[in-house]
Amino acid sequence: MKVLLVCKALHFTYKGGIQTHVWELSQALIDQGLDIYILTGAKPAWGAKERVVEGRHLIELPTLPGYRMRWFANTIDEIAFNLQVIRWLWKHEQEFDVIHFHGRSGLAWPMFFPGRLSKCLLTVHGLTAEEWAYNRKNFDRWVHAQVSNLAEKIAAKRLPVLIAVSQDQADRINERFERPRLGIKMIPNGIQQSDLIPYPTEKWIAFVGRIEGIKGVDLLPDILSKMPKDVGLFMIGSGQEKNALQRRFQELGLGNQVVWTGAIDPVEVLHYLGRSSLLLLPSRYEPQGRVILEAMSVGRPFVGSNTGGIKEMLRSGSEGRLVDPHSVADIVSAISSLLQNPDEAEAMGISGRKTVMSHYSWASLGPEVMNVYQELVGHEKMVQL
C-alpha cells in the first residue's frame, strides 16, 4: 500500500507535537510494510524536491516564508502551503492508495475538490475554535482562524473518515461538525519507547509547549512565585507570549530560577524532562497532550489540567495529578505535594511509564491506523463498483 502523509512541516524544520507525531507514525507504518511518502513544505525554490530520509520519501514543496511577513505570517504561511499541495496533488493524487492529512495541512484539497476524496482522511490534532478562544488575537490570526475553521468544517463534512487523538476530541468534533460516512476513529498519539531516567535530586519543573495563552502560560510566574527558591523552571518551547512572560518573571524577581531553552529536538526534550521532578501542563484546552507521553516515557509524573484529552491520560489514576487550570492555588498544591514527596512522585513516574508501554506504543497503534487505511481502501473500491 502506497500512503501519502501531508504535514506542512516536520520536526527538523519546526519543533512541535504534530511534526513529531507524523514522523513517528510514518516509521510505524513502514514497520507495517507500507510505502510511505510525506508531502511537506520547504524553503522557496523552483519545483518540488524529493529525497529519502530513513526509509521515508520526502516531497518538499517550495512555499513562501510567511514568518518573514510579520503582519500576515500565519495566514500567508497556511495559504502558500495549501496552494502548493493543490498544485502537486492535481498531478499525483492517483499514484497513492491513501492520502492522510494532518491538522490543517492541505485542507484546501477537500475544500475545492470534493469529488476526489474517496481515498483521503484527516487526523484532527486540534480545533481552530478552541485555540482562538484563548490565544492572543490580531488581524492575521483572525483571518487565519476564519479560513481554518471553514476548512475544518468542510473537511469533516466531505472526507470519508476522521481520526481524533482523544475521546474528548472526538466528542467535540461530533458537536461542531457533521459525522463522516465511516465515522470518527479514536487513535491517540503514540510514542517511541525511551530509557527510564533515574529520578533527580534537584527540584525542577518542566513546561513543554507553545508559549501561548491556550497553554496557560500566564499562570506560570504566579505559580513559581509560591514555590521555594530552590525550585527551578525549564521553559521548553517558543511562542508569542515569551517576551511578556520573561518580563513578568523578572518583575517578580524569578529570572534566575527560569531556564529558557527555546524550541528543541524531541531527544533534547526527553533530556530536560529527565532532569525534572515533574511536568507541568496547565493548558486551558489540550486535545491530548503528547508531552505527557514523553514525560511518562522517562518516568516522570505530570500535573495537568482537568480538561480536554489530558484527563484521559490518567489511566490507572496514579500517573499524575489533575488540577483546575484556572486555580493557581490548586496547581501549587499539587506541585508542592509531589516535590515534598519524591518517593511518591517517582512511583507515579514508574506507573506512567507502564501506562505508556501498554497503551501508547507505536507497535500497537500503528496497526490501528493500518486498519483505518484498509477500511478506507475497501470503501473506495465499493464506491467504484
DSSP code for 257: G
Residue 161 has pLDDT above 70, yes or no: yes
In whole angstroms, give the CA distance from residue 210 to residue 235: 10
C-alpha cell at 110: 477537500
**Mean pLDDT throughout 213-234?**
96
> What does pLDDT average to over the chain?
90
Whose CA is closest to 197, among 338, 56, 352? 352
Whose CA is closest to 9, among 60, 47, 51, 44? 60
* 267, amino acid identity: V
Q: What is the percent of the chain where pLDDT is above 90?
A: 72
* 183, amino acid identity: G
Give me the pLDDT at residue 143, please: 83
Report residue 148's pLDDT band, with 50, 70 and 90 as the boundaries.
confident
**Mean pLDDT throughout 337-360?**
94
What DSSP string describes 243-255?
Answer: HHHHHHHHHTT-G
pLDDT digits (tens, 9 = 90+) for 360-374: 999 999 999 999 999
Mean pLDDT lowest among 154-168, 183-197, 218-232:
183-197
Residue 281 has pLDDT above 50, yes or no: yes
- Say if CB 378 and CB 169 are below 8 A apart: no
Residue 45 has pLDDT above 70, yes or no: no
Report residue 140's pLDDT band, with 50, 70 and 90 as the boundaries.
confident
In whole angstroms, give the CA distance from residue 280 to residue 202: 16
Mean pLDDT lowest among 135-139, 203-207, 348-352:
135-139
Q: Phi-psi category of 259—alpha, beta or left, where left has phi over 0 and alpha has psi -120 to 50?
A: beta
Report residue 63's pLDDT band, with 50, 70 and 90 as the boundaries.
confident
Quote the pTM value: 0.93
Residue 67 has pLDDT above 60, yes or no: no
- Say if CB 208 and CB 279 are below 8 A apart: yes
Report residue 194's pLDDT band, with 50, 70 and 90 as the boundaries.
confident
Helical spans, DSSP H, in the chain: 17-31, 73-92, 108-112, 128-134, 139-158, 167-176, 220-225, 242-251, 266-275, 290-297, 328-340, 342-359, 362-384
Give me the pLDDT at residue 139, please: 79
> Please, what are the domains in the chain?
2-190+361-384 (3.40.50.2000), 203-359 (3.40.50.2000)
In whole angstroms, give the CA distance from residue 261 to residue 269: 9
Residue 227 has pLDDT above 90, yes or no: yes
In whole angstroms, give the CA distance from residue 172 to residue 8: 24
